Chains A and B, each alone.
Chain A
Amino acid sequence: MNTNIKTNLKKINTLLSVSALIFASSQVHAQDLSITVTNLTQGLHFTPIITAAHASDDHIFMVGSAATAELQAMAEGGDISGLVTMLSNADADTNENPAGGFLAPGMSTTYMLTNEAANTHLSMTTMILPSNDGFVGLDGWKIPTETGTYTIMLNAYDAGTEANNELINGGGAPGVLGIPGAPSGGSGTDGSGVTNTESNTMIHIHRGTIGDDDTSGGTSDLNNSIHRWLNPVAKLTVTIQ
């Protein structure tokens, strides 16, 4: 009697898991994504972009959490090599540096990404220049199963790893204070430094740069008419084929 019930339950379980598998296979499969990143700003450059499809539990950054060393290297100096290794170890599908260097203000770059069935979530990041540790980010966007074109507006985040002193001194290595450069020009020199502290060491929405109108002094080397921004700073257009 008991054995019979068990056998029946086992049968039901098997049936359920078979139908679950059938359901899953009809819902989740490799998808071809055509992705366009647009730099919406008029005065900020984006460093090499990294985009990845990964498992739902994985993140390249999370607001309210401390940055990993890999994210810090990207946010302070535009170096995505650590993130590439991290994503590769997590069996993510990645696209590196689609613009072949900077994505200049107002410019767009389009690229393909094919995700494995298990890689259901999309993330993307790139450093904002000039900034100390400002970056653009998308954290774990669930890739829709339905074909179509989706638009996502992206905000600027602060990695929380470096004081926003706004001084351009070539400092791009992790832990080195300063901004690597201002590719769009318009920057100044000999600023005294906006701040030397970063009390919020968790990833947060960037408060924006302050800049000043003094090209040879003041507190900031950034130009307040060129290097500020309002969110959103980037647009991601994802076409699922």
Chain B
Amino acid sequence: MSTLSLVTKSSLIKSKLTVITTLALLLSACNDNDDQVVVTPPPAEYSYSVTITNLTYAQPLSPLGVILHNDNKMWMVGDASSLALEKLAEGGNNTDFLADSNAIAASSSEGVILPGTMTTINISTTDRMATYFTAATMLVNTNDAFSGLTGIDISTMVVDDTKSWNLNVYDAGTELNSEAVGTIPGPADGGTGFDATRDDVDFVGYHSGVVSQNDGLYSSVLTQAHRFDNPAIKLTITRTQ
């Protein structure tokens, strides 16, 4: 009886010791990051959510195109727009833009992003080289205005990291900013979007804003409501996996 109780006690002590040892091990596992060899398999998937907010008064945005790619820029101030960018900036069509030969993964929002609203889309890849990010959308009540960013290094983002930008408006430089009837694809006009003719400066720059019929361009189909300022969109990218 007494022997048994002793054994029980000693086993109790043993189990207490085990608990303490386990705790100590757990603690050391938590603290000791430098010396430990942690074998973590490389993440099989790189997933991001991208949220766009339309900051304008009356400029609906064409479906947001998002691309993951290697080190590359899809446009540069001073350089001519690609044909794919021209199609996006003049007509809001991102099909060719997303099919860029440098694209590793591509995704598009489903519909237009109305003023004062936000949309989130997801993009995913297993390719470790897809460490750069591009996003673009057209301000549809313009001749060839677009906003976005390109060639952003996201290689250091870990899960739950977030980056956010307030973005300015570019002019694709491919179509004269005539604001004329029939030249603007958005609801302000319902005119032609993409037209292969390049009748403007033929390089990308920052947009000077729409003038409108209310501010001195009497041939403009646009009104004061379609004017915009920088920034026009807010973009947030979050690594989700």
B-binding residues in A (CB < 8 A): 38, 40-43, 105-108, 210-213, 224-233, 235
- The answer to whether residues A230 and B201 also contact, given A107-B78, A224-B215 and a CB cut-off of 8 A, is no
What is the minimal beta-carbon distance from A217 to any residue of chain B, in angstroms?
13
Residues of B198-229 at the interface with A, using a CB-CB cut-off of 8 Å, are 200-201, 203-209, 211, 215-219, 229
Q: Is the pair B168, A232 in contact by a Cβ cutoff of 8 Å?
A: yes
Smallest beta-carbon distance A139→chain B, Å: 20
Q: Which residue of B lies closest to A38 (CB)?
A: B77
B172 CB, min distance to chain A CBs, angstroms: 10
Minimum CB–CB distance for A238 against chain B, Å:
17
* A interface, over-half SS: loop
* B229 touching A230, Cβ below 8 Å: yes
Contact between A229 and B208 (Cβ–Cβ < 8 Å)?
Answer: yes
Q: How far is the CA of A38 from the CA of B206 in the complex (A)?
A: 11
Knowing A211-B216, A213-B219, A225-B177 touch, does A232 contact B230 (C-beta < 8 A)? Answer: yes
Evaluate whether A38 and B78 lie within 8 angstroms (CB atoms) in the complex, with A106-B204, A230-B229, A233-B206 already known: yes
- Nearest residue in A to B219 (C-beta to C-beta)? A213
- Residues of chain B whose beta carbon lies under 8 Å from any beta carbon of chain A: 77-78, 168-169, 171, 173, 176-179, 200-201, 203-209, 211, 215-219, 229-230
Complex alpha-carbon distance, A107 and B218, angstroms: 31
Could you say which residues of chain A place their CB within 8 Å of the CB of B200?
A: 42
B43 to chain A, nearest CB (A): 27
Question: Which B residues touch A211, using CB under 8 A?
Answer: 211, 216
Distance A231 CA – B228 CA, assembled complex (angstroms): 12
Closest CB of chain B to A4's CB: distance in Å? 48
Given the known A-B contacts A38-B77, A38-B78, are A212 and B216 also in contact in the complex, defined by CB atoms under 8 Å? yes
Whether B209 and A230, one on each chain, are in contact in the complex, defined by CB atoms closer than 8 angstroms, is yes
Contacts of A107 in B (CB 8 A): 78
B178 CB contacts on chain A under 8 angstroms: 225
Residue of B nearest to A212 (CB): B216
Q: Are B171 and A42 in contact (CB under 8 A)?
A: yes
Residue pairs across A and B with Cβ atoms less than 8 A apart, 23 shown, are A40-B205, A42-B171, A42-B201, A42-B206, A105-B203, A106-B173, A107-B78, A108-B78, A210-B215, A210-B216, A211-B211, A213-B218, A213-B219, A225-B179, A226-B208, A229-B209, A230-B168, A230-B169, A230-B229, A230-B230, A231-B230, A232-B206, A232-B230
Whether A230 pairs with B205 at a CB distance below 8 angstroms is no
- Nearest-neighbor residue (CB-CB) of A107 within chain B: B78
The majority secondary structure among interface residues of chain B is loop
CB distance from A234 to the nearest CB of B (A): 9
Q: Assess whether B205 is in contact with A228, with CB atoms less than 8 Å apart.
A: no
Q: Which of A41, A108, A212, A235 touches B208 (beta carbons < 8 Å)? A: A41
Which A residues lie within 8 Å of B168 (CB)? 230, 232
Scoring B206, B209, B229 by chain A CB atoms within 10 A of each residue's CB, the highest score goes to B206
Name the one of B169, B208, B216, B230 contacting A43, with C-beta atoms under 8 angstroms: B208
Within the complex, the shortest CB–CB distance from B81 to chain A, in Å, comes to 12
> Smallest distance from the beta carbon of A108 to chain B beta carbons, Å?
6
Point out the residues of chain A lying under 8 angstroms from B208, CB to CB: 41-43, 225-230
The CA-CA distance from A225 to B179 in the complex, in Å, is 9
Establish whether residues A40 and B216, one from each chain, have CB atoms under 8 Å apart when the complex forms.
no
B217–A213 contact, CB under 8 A?
yes
Q: Nearest-CB distance from B146 to chain A (Å)?
A: 14
Out of A212, A228, A233, A235, which one reaches B209, CB within 8 Å? A228
A40 adjacent to B211 (CB under 8 Å): no
A39 to chain B minimum Cβ distance, whole angstroms, is 8
**Closest A residue to B205 using CB positions:** A42
Measured between beta carbons, the chain B residues less than 8 angstroms from A105 are 201, 203, 205
Distance of A40 Cα from B171 Cα, bound (Å): 10
CA separation between A221 and B205, bound complex, in Å? 23
Q: How far is the CB of A40 from chain B (nearest CB, A)?
A: 4
The interface residues of chain B lying within 8 Å CB-to-CB of A38 are 77-78
Do B207 and A230 touch (CB < 8 A)? yes
By beta carbon, the residue of chain B nearest A226 is: B208
Task: Report the bound CA distance from A226 to B204 in whole Å.
Answer: 14
Q: What distance in Å separates the Cβ of A98 from its nearest Cβ neighbour in chain B?
A: 16
Are B211 and A225 in touch, CB under 8 angstroms?
yes
Q: Which residue of chain B has its CB nearest to the CB of A106? A: B78
In Å, the complex CA distance between A206 and B218 comes to: 25
Inter-chain contact A224/B77, CB cutoff 8 Å? no
B77, B216, B218: the one contacting A235 at CB < 8 Å is: B77
Whether B203 contacts A106 by the Cβ 8 Å rule is yes
| The one of B173, B217, B230 that contacts A224, using a Cβ cutoff of 8 Å | B217
